[in-house]
Amino acid sequence: MSATAPLDLGRFFQLGYVTNDLDQAMDYTTRTFGVKDFVDYGQFDSVVVGGTAKVRVAQGKLGEVVFELVQPCGGDDALYASYLPDSGFAVRLHHTAYYLDDPVEWRRLRQALDAQGKKIVIDGRSPSSEYIYVDFRDELGQFAEVVHRPGFDASDPDAERRRVAAAIAAVAASKGAAKS
């Protein structure tokens, strides 16, 4: 029997949680765990397999780790909402996130995932990056997000949060201009 090489997902930088009340979750995680400096990016569309989910996202810092909170808000949001109970406040681990800045390593990872039959449930692109959500629910109970952005520095969560905020603002501005 041949052994399968371990997957190189890249450098860990984020814990991603889903919640049914983003404001309460920010308050709770700040008081309970010391998460700091939350930035609320507001509500936007997230393209998922099978459609588009409406989500509201905030990111804070927990030491060197980005602490992300995602509140499903409608559309095709089962990828997020399925982690939450039918009633009562909850914050549930949804994904861990890693980054790969080397294009060769990114291609190798994509090929290895395909060879191992791993399901990719989000395959997204932005002007500056590509990202995937790999389904490890059967093995680990969660997803793994992998971000590929040449020059990305996960050791500077503030720079990443500023970049994300600027990208979301640009999309919102373009939608507003399109409606004019």
Per residue in 67-120, pLDDT (tens digit) is 999 999 999 999 999 999 999 999 999 999 999 988 899 999 999 999 999 999
Non-local (6+) Cβ contacts of 156 within 8 A are none
Please write the tens of the pLDDT for every residue from 142-177: 999 999 986 666 566 566 666 666 666 665 566 565
What is the identity of the amino acid at 63? G
- For the entire predicted model, the pTM comes to 0.82
Q: Read out DSSP for 38-65?
A: EEEEEEEEEEETTEEEEEEEEEEEETTE
* Alpha helices per DSSP H over the chain: 22-33, 78-81, 103-115, 137-140, 157-179
Name the CATH superfamily, with its identifier, for domain 11-175. Answer: 2,3-Dihydroxybiphenyl 1,2-Dioxygenase, domain 1 (3.10.180.10)
CB 68 within 8 A of CB 143: no
